[in-house]
Chains A and B, each alone.
Chain A
């Protein structure tokens, strides 16, 4: 690197063999992502003018909301150096169980808001339980996160089928009207999701909780000797991930008007969440990442998936395009890490 001289003398004089410039690549990456997002919207709008319409943006936001909470869940987990393979299936299970529990109320009550609030609490609880199981396997039985969440992934997918008998359950067509009413392009559930995203962003970047997240992902030993209760924090992160997955399950229930056992499997939501995180520039080895990057990553994935359908690209190809995006982002990340090591 060309920064070995120049800064010398200005910085910790005696210790230095020269200091590398603060890397601006991370910032640049988010800028590049933003440009890419705008370019994609322009591209799809030029190809099909109906893409640039209130109705389409409304549906884009709904699809984005279905992805962003599990992407954020994944961000919290991955920045500690772990991974959660189960966010999609946990969401499906939570949605099915919540739909099941709400069913008697749907037929006997009329207060939708109350019913949905109850369902939301059930979904969060189911998510928290699944997350707690993963946390237990990781922090008490010392399984690596990949294996522990592979267990909760399989269990979640299986239990969702058991509870539902393999078909959507708890039909509640009135619930789905909630996802079409709201203010301008923002439906009520979307507004709640956006509010949650803002809160989670503040928690990750400005609070002690978020600081410990990055500290653990950066150097677990350092975190431990600094007095951080690593086991407790890591456990809480998997429970948080489960809760956010549960909320996503509830969101999908409201959108569809029923709980679907395959919501998390057919849409490969687990992988999309991880893809959004990788595209957003979060390091898969932990310690580094910005939520704004993940938001852009999720937005790009949403626009690409929806846009390709809009310009009549066969859905089978969408996965391939997304694979290309992930590969590109991962290569950039690897190059960046290599660069840092040489300085």
Chain B
């Protein structure tokens, strides 16, 4: 990795509390382009809070967030998106009644040329064509992007959602439980899309409770417990048992 020297995302001593609840304490790590990082921990370990800090949903109380060498302060998730960080939320980020193409371009619509474009008229054809290309880039083949998302199965929807995140992310994609509620084959497809994202030089933060998935697809695993990083090590150092032990704190 050529960019080894310069992390694409760096957290320095991030702390965050909600009232009297200390959700994150002094969380620091560096993440590099082309790296898949597993973020694991028990419920309440601080994973969700950490995602919210990185994706711009909730700001941290203390600590520095550095993206591509620049310190950042998000005012909204949109700021993070503009800086090249895409987040796939557990709650669906797709509008089921819109077509696949419209969803890929939601918030980033292509307008028509000239006066019509200035009046807000959309170039639906260009978006449908672009959507096919974006999805094919991560190995998802779609014959009809004119189909609405509500007509897709759960796995297909997740594919479209991840495809969209990969299409727009410049630096980091955050995937919060992307294989939840999916069957074995569909989960495998999601993992393949993550690998495709890594090959495109993106940094992937993969949050999951399904430890075999974490062990299969990640390069490095960061374990959180009670708001603190308790271990940050290459994936090859872990087995399902040792990872589970680290998460629960029964072994270190």
Residues in A lying within 8 Å of B, measured CB to CB: 10-20, 22-23, 202-203, 206-209, 211, 214-215, 217-219, 221-223, 225-228, 283, 287-288, 340, 343
A224 (CB) vs chain B CBs: closest residue:
B77
- Encode B181-194 as 1/0 by CB contact (under 8 A) with A: 00101101100000
Interface size on B, residues (CB 8 A): 45
Residue of B nearest to A341 (CB): B150
Enumerate chain B residues within 8 angstroms of A225, measured Cβ to Cβ: 77, 87, 89, 93
Q: Please name the residue on chain B nearest to A22 by beta carbon.
A: B147
Chain B residues with Cβ below 8 Å from A340 are: 150-151
Contact of B156 among A12, A208, A209, A211 (CB under 8 A): A12
Stretch from B16-24, B67-75, B96-104, B243-251 that touches the partner: B96-104
The reply to whether A214 and B98 contact each other, CB–CB distance below 8 Å, is yes
Within 8 A of A (CB), among B130-172: 140-144, 146-148, 150-153, 155-156, 159
Partner of B95, one of A10, A11, A13, A219: A219
The docked-state distance in angstroms from the alpha carbon of A207 to that of B93 is: 21
- Chain B contacts for A223, CB-based, 8 A: 95, 106-107
Say whether, besides A15-B155, A16-B153, A211-B109, A10 and B143 are in contact (CB < 8 Å). yes
User: Knowing A209-B120, A288-B97 touch, does A15 contact B189 (C-beta < 8 A)?
Assistant: yes
**Tally of A-B residue pairs with Cβ under 8 A?**
114
- Are A214 and B97 in contact, with the CB atoms below 8 A? yes
CA distance A15 to B138 in the complex (A): 13
The answer to whether A14 and B143 have CB atoms under 8 Å apart is: no
Check B2 for interface membership: any CB of A closer than 8 A.
no
Instruction: Answer yes or no: B92 CB below 8 A from chain A CBs.
Output: yes
In the complex, A209→B120 CA distance in Å? 7
Report the minimum CB–CB distance from B183 to chain A (whole Å): 8
Q: Is the CB of A207 within 8 A of B122?
A: yes
Q: Does the CB pair A287–B151 fall under 8 Å?
A: no
Check A222/B102 contact, CB under 8 A, given A15-B186, A211-B109, A340-B150.
Answer: no
| For the complex of A and B, 6 pairs with smallest distance between CB atoms | A226-B107, A287-B97, A218-B95, A218-B97, A207-B120, A227-B107
